[in-house]
Structures are given as structure tokens and as C-alpha cells.
Amino acid sequence: MRAVVRQHRLTRSLLLAVGVSAAAAGLVACGDPVDTASITRVGGERFEEIRFEELYRPPTATSKTKEKVDLVQTETLTIEKSDPEQVVKTYGKVLTEEGWSEVQEPTEKRDKSWYGAWTKMGRNIVVTAEFGTAVEEGAALPTDFTLAFQRPTKTDQITGVGNDPITG
């Protein structure tokens, strides 16, 4: 004798009812508030943007020249009523407050100019400052300073591996 196995079939109306209730439950959850701080971020800080244009510029500084060569952007500015030491030390304070790490503390060179260097997430900024040329004879000397910003290569941004001659 042969055993007969019966399969239970769900009716279309039952399947439709289950589908509609699942969709309704999903729509109800759509309006719930979301804690954005608890969302897992893919890649972490490497996707944070650090743009040269967003670096601090003293409000009274005037831009003289801008240049971009490969991964390095530079801008030369001039500011009245300041000296090279004050400019570089001010940048040191501002950059440190913005999370940059000091690579070279503000230092005076033999020619009385100043420089300092900072790094953040593979980006480097070097600030150099020196006395400029007075606009009028007998006037106070302005300070000319340069911001040199180097961003990482695309490989650095994606994998953290740079142009290291040893690791490639």
C-alpha cells in the first residue's frame, strides 16, 4: 500500500494578509527617532574631510598667491601689525585645538623667520612666516606667511598604505 502525503497549501489570501501586516509593521517603525551617534560608521575617520580651504586664516590677512602642485597646496598671505613668531604660534594653538598633532614646534630660524609643522590623519601643514616689505617708508613691516598643505595619496586615504619605499 502506498502512503499518501498531504501537503498543506497556504491560500493566497493568507499570504497576502501576512505580507500586508509585515509591511504595515515596517511603516510604523519608519517614524521612530534614530540616535545617529549609535550608528556604526564604515571606515571611521579616514572618510572625514580635511580641506585646505577650511584652514584658519586670520581675518585681517590678505592672500597674495595660491598654488597647487600635485598633492601640495600653498598659499602666501600677508598680515599687518603682527610678527612672524606671533603668526606661527597662533597657528600652533589653533591647529592643536582642532585636533592636529604638533610635528615641529614653532621655531625661529637663523634669518629671524619662524616655522612650525602639524599633522592630522595623513595630512600635513607647514606654516612659515617672515617679515615682509613695508608698503610705505617708515611704516611697520608686515608679516608674510605661507601655509603649505599636503594631503595623502589616494592609496593612503583608502588603505592607509602610502608611498613608503619599504612597504610600497
Domain-wise residue ranges, the chain:
52-159
Which grid coordinates belong to 89? 604660534
The whole-angstrom separation of Cα 67 and Cα 2 is: 89
Q: What is the 3-state secondary structure of 71-116? A: CEEEEEEEECCCCHHHHHHHHHHHHHHCCCEEEEEEEECCCCCEEE
What pLDDT sits at residue 93? Answer: 96
What pLDDT sits at residue 40? Answer: 47
Question: Are residues 118 and 102 in contact, defined by beta-carbon separation less than 8 angstroms?
Answer: yes
Convert the pLDDT of each residue in 23-74 to its tens digit.
555 555 555 565 655 554 444 444 457 888 989 999 999 999 999 998 899 9
Contact partners, residue 163, CB within 8 Å, separation at least 6: 153, 155, 156
